[in-house]
Structure 1
Amino acid sequence: MTTTNAATSDIVSKLWNLCHLLRDDGVTYHEYVSELTYLLFLKMMEETDQEDCLVLFKAPKKGAPKEQINGSRWSDLMDANASDRLSLYKQLLQEYSRYGHGTVQEIYANTSTVITKPSTLSTLVEEIDKLAWYSVHREDLGDLYEGLLARNANEKKSGAGQYFTPRVLIDSIVAVMKPTLDDVIQDPAAGTAGFLIAANHFLRHQNDFKALTDAQQLRYKHGTFYGMELVQDAHRLALMNMLLHGVEGGVQFGDTLGEQGTRLPAATLILSNPPFGTKKGGGLPSRSDFIYPTTNKQLCFLQHIYQGLKPGGRAAVVLPDNVLFDSNVGTEIRRDLMDKCNLHTVLRLPTGIFYAQGVKTNVLFFTRGLSDKGSTEEVWVYDLRANVPQFGKRTQLTRKYFADFEAAFGTDPSAGRDSLNKRMETGETGRFRKFSRQWISERGENLDITWLKDDSAAANAVHSEPTELAREAMVELEGALEDLRGILAELGEDMEEFEA
């Protein structure tokens, strides 16, 4: 770990420990992160010399010149009397929501504080200001913020990180997909923008940004990253996270599975971990461009992703096992995917890497074809699930576990024919095997392919926590329920009476 990383981790720990102050004021873990980010964002804007974004103006009367609103910066909170800080803070939240410029107004939309004691807010402000910000390089302040989000996701009491994507998995996916400055990069289930931030990191380390023209810099900042997030708190965090990493806007607040999703521009690279489960209320998505409507959210997101790729565009998407074997509409969607895209790689992920331990997941890597038929000739499956450690607090998931996969994947992010020809078939005893499109078709388009004997499976089943086994059973049952819903829909039955 570098010195900078050590300093960053130290500040993250100190920030997290401040939650004890808020707990005394009756603030929950989930509320704590939101509350802290409102304040932390103001402080970080000061540290990164971006406070010009926080200047507020209002026009008292129509046609009258705008007047600047004073008292809108971190220093104003620090200069205020301790007893007055809470009222000033409440006023700031309202004014940013009403008069903030662009992204800042979006960040503070509909915000309010749950802090009730002036002394709590005052102490929190003073403790944040005392932290050794000078020990962290300015370009790493965004990483510090992201570290706080990860800490919250790993806090089981909060429940906020049920399907938080581990950073090491995101970094591995980005590494093999190799974003370029020419890419239009999208995450239709952006969350707090983890995939987009990782792609930004990759690009900044691979390119000399000082050599870019002003036009190129502007295009990068405003025209490279796009996404959508349904949960307003997560959307707020995504905007903050991106702005602190030098990228503005791009992530819209809305439902990708509704007509809003059609507003996302066609992309050359899509990276995503869509939410698991069925659509709220069991209803079908309101998108009119889905050929195969279904209540299964992952199958809907998968359709959005391969339909939203430009010809030659590439994607990597995290999906649960049921997407690989669903025998109803899932079969049609997988067939459509393999017709329109070259589904060249499936990575079977270890269990236990998400908060919901029993959920079994995969990463599907595919490239949009130049035609809508016969794009997939073979699918390579890399099994990183069988005979690997049970990850958790004792055994941490690290980047080293993905090293062999990254090497086997190859250097071509689009996995063209020359690249696939160079891949090594490891046979019955290895982790990487090739399966023909015809063979997959003969087994009903089922991509849930295994061949390795998992010697750890029995032990894991014996020692698994009951809650983990229950979660796994729920995922399997959701797939079965989706099949039953499809049958009822085909029979013309009214679904509302069954959902009641």
Structure 2
Amino acid sequence: MTTQDIVQKLWNLCDVLRDDGINYSDYVTELVLLLFIKMEYENTESGILQAHKLPPFARWPELRDKSGLNLLRHYRETLLKLSASDDRLIAAIYADAQTSLKEPRHLEQLVKSLDSIDWFSARQDGLGDLYEGLLEKNASETKSGAGQYFTPRPLIDTIVKVIKPQPGETVQDPAAGTAGFLIAADRYIKDQTDDLYNLTEKQRKFQRNDAFLGMELVPGTRRLALMNCLLHGMEGDDEGVVHVGNTLGSAGSGLPQSHVILSNPPFGTAKGGGGPTRDDLTFATSNKQLAFLQHIVRHLKDGGRAAVVLPDNVLFEAGVGADIRRDLMDKCRLHTILRLPTGIFYAQGVKTNVLFFEKVSQAATGSTQDVWVYDMRANAPKFGKRTPLTDAHFADFIAAYGDEPNGKATRQDLGEQGRFRRFSRDWIAGEKGNGLDIAWLKDDNAEDAADLPEPAELAREAVEELNRALEELDAILAELGEESEL
């Protein structure tokens, strides 16, 4: 069986959970609580993990060898005990964990189904990869919640290939999600070091425990990230690789500076208390992506490099948006922008870009002299289930980017008919008013009404823009000591 076959088999177990009244959105959370116990056992027995992380009462044979009400009672007690474990990582993974299963026969059916899977085949690709496949399957099927902006694996792998994280470097994702960027960076380094065997024991320990750090606001998503990292042999500190907290609040200001930052921050404006509350950012804004961009610049070490996925509005928003872009190009050498096709995220109308930059210093000015833009959006295929995004779609971009991670390789401007062009900082300031929404190719697809976003999507975008404007006006009134009547 291939990993894809096993993922589909696991996904089909959704029917069992539905029969027990568990809704679609809770399916993955319910399954992974059980799946992690199985995978931890398989990884340890096969030597991928050095020792069991779970205590004896919580290991797979204890579930496999029980049935009926005894099994359900034991499983409920196991989740409760794990949530109170002295091991902080295990306690974090199982914090507030409880099963919604009511029928013993349904739990028994799940256990038997998991036990019957060809785990030897799964180990060929890695159980962590299998787990990631399940998370991606959930994102593509549900089209809601965090899955709405699940970063496609080919995009993550492309970013990591050109950024080239190295052993001994610290890699951070301040909006970690299920830790896709961190895991891809770890995999890249392992591929370059014969699975870390070319390193000293001290270097290996650093890679396992200190090299990677993420922060995630949503506890349930952080649980998935911790499981995902542990199954890939990434343990982190006592709290795991991914910490829970608000990067745009006080928790984020305490994150260390890193050599590499890779991230796809959440889209949209701040709502419900989840907005920026930090006082160490240079520019106040309710736009979460603009706040995350400031965090990334601030938390890069001098000489460090970053790649961040951002929606179009960050590239053209006036006012504070222009100030933040100007500040970025002063403190960092913004060398490359990749204009991504629409439809590669599960919210179809979202238009996104990847900004690649190198930190010069927090006090620097005029660091950006030229910006290279690769347009992968114009006349691109309409991506979706019928035309999935693959690694092959990024091959030309990787070749154009070059082998130097900070974009310093020799590059060729392909002219007005080509996809890769160079624009001077003076041109960007004069012609674009420091806007970075740079396009030159005629997009034949744009003339096809069928490819335009749905009216509801356009309406939502308009409402978001209006809300953002109102929030910024409220902030101005507050600074002036006036009370808003809006």
TMscore range, shorter length: over 0.9
Match of 1:3 in 2: none
Which one-letter code corresponds to 2:29 in the other structure?
A: S
- The answer to whether the 8 Å contact 2:171/2:212 transfers is yes
1:215-364 mapped onto 2 (5 Å cutoff): 215-248=202-235, 249-281=240-272, 285-364=276-355
- Among candidates 91, 103, 126, match of residue 112 of structure 2: 126
- The answer to whether the 8 Å contact 1:257/1:300 transfers is yes
- Alpha-carbon distance in 2 for matches of 1:462, 1:410: 32
- Residue 282 of structure 1 deviates from its aligned partner by 7.0
- SS at 1:175 equivalent: helix
- Residue 432 of structure 1 deviates from its aligned partner by 1.1
Match of 2:425 in 1: 437
- Alpha-carbon distance in 1 for matches of 2:388, 2:425: 36
- The answer to whether the 8 Å contact 2:269/2:468 transfers is no
- Alpha-carbon distance in 1 for matches of 2:375, 2:478: 36
Which one-letter code corresponds to 1:226 in the other structure?
A: L
Q: Deviations over 1:291-332 (max 9, x none)?
A: 111111000000000110001000000000110111111111
- State percent identity of aligned pairs: 57
- The answer to whether the 8 Å contact 1:299/1:323 transfers is yes
- Alpha-carbon distance in 2 for matches of 1:362, 1:36: 34
Match of 2:377 in 1: 385
Match of 2:67 in 1: 81
- Note if 1:106 corresponds to 2:98: no
- Alpha-carbon distance in 1 for matches of 2:354, 2:152: 13
Which one-letter code corresponds to 2:370 in the other structure?
A: E
Q: Flag the 1:493–1:113 CA change in 2: closer, same or farther, 3 A.
A: farther
TM-score normalized by structure 2?
A: 0.93
- SS at 1:345 equivalent: strand
- Alpha-carbon distance in 1 for matches of 2:143, 2:179: 22
- SS at 1:40 equivalent: helix
Q: Flag the 1:492–1:110 CA change in 2: closer, same or farther, 3 A.
A: same
Q: Flag the 1:237–1:373 CA change in 2: closer, same or farther, 3 A.
A: same
- Note if 1:150 corresponds to 2:136: yes
Q: Flag the 1:160–1:270 CA change in 2: closer, same or farther, 3 A.
A: closer
- The answer to whether the 8 Å contact 2:170/2:258 transfers is yes
Match of 2:3 in 1: 8
Which one-letter code corresponds to 2:109 in the other structure?
A: T
- Residue 468 of structure 1 deviates from its aligned partner by 3.9
Q: Flag the 1:465–1:445 CA change in 2: closer, same or farther, 3 A.
A: same
- Residue 101 of structure 1 deviates from its aligned partner by 1.3
- Alpha-carbon distance in 2 for matches of 1:433, 1:296: 29
- The answer to whether the 8 Å contact 1:284/1:293 transfers is no
- Residue 466 of structure 1 deviates from its aligned partner by 3.5
Q: Deviations over 1:416-446 (max 9, x none)?
A: 3xx2xx2111111111111111121223211
- Alpha-carbon distance in 2 for matches of 1:411, 1:290: 33
- Alpha-carbon distance in 2 for matches of 1:472, 1:391: 21
Residue ranges of structure 1 left out of the alignment (5+ in a row): 1-5, 56-69
- The answer to whether the 8 Å contact 1:358/1:471 transfers is no
- SS at 1:366 equivalent: strand
- Alpha-carbon distance in 2 for matches of 1:478, 1:407: 41
Q: Deviations over 1:157-201 (max 9, x none)?
A: 654411110001111111110110021000000000000111111
- Alpha-carbon distance in 2 for matches of 1:128, 1:319: 39
- Among candidates 440, 455, 458, match of residue 451 of structure 1: 440
Match of 1:42 in 2: 37
Match of 1:71 in 2: 57
- Alpha-carbon distance in 1 for matches of 2:480, 2:320: 15
Tell me how many residue pairs correspond in the alignment: 474
- Alpha-carbon distance in 1 for matches of 2:396, 2:92: 42
- Alpha-carbon distance in 2 for matches of 1:386, 1:264: 38
- Residue 118 of structure 1 deviates from its aligned partner by 1.5
Which one-letter code corresponds to 2:53 in the other structure?
A: C
Match of 2:27 in 1: 32
Match of 2:165 in 1: 179
Residue ranges of structure 2 left out of the alignment (5+ in a row): none
- Alpha-carbon distance in 1 for matches of 2:445, 2:130: 37
- Alpha-carbon distance in 2 for matches of 1:283, 1:240: 25
Root-mean-square deviation over aligned CA pairs? 1.9
Which one-letter code corresponds to 1:41 in the other structure?
A: F
- Alpha-carbon distance in 2 for matches of 1:268, 1:485: 37
Match of 1:427 in 2: 415
TM-score normalized by structure 1?
A: 0.91
Match of 1:54 in 2: 54
Which one-letter code corresponds to 2:300 in the other structure?
A: L
- The answer to whether the 8 Å contact 2:302/2:359 transfers is yes
- Residue 19 of structure 1 deviates from its aligned partner by 0.5
- Alpha-carbon distance in 2 for matches of 1:151, 1:40: 15
- Among candidates 400, 405, 409, match of residue 413 of structure 1: 405
- Residue 479 of structure 1 deviates from its aligned partner by 5.3
Q: Flag the 1:236–1:291 CA change in 2: closer, same or farther, 3 A.
A: same
- SS at 2:336 equivalent: strand
- Note if 1:367 corresponds to 2:358: yes
Which one-letter code corresponds to 1:44 in the other structure?
A: M
Match of 2:148 in 1: 162
- Alpha-carbon distance in 1 for matches of 2:379, 2:414: 16
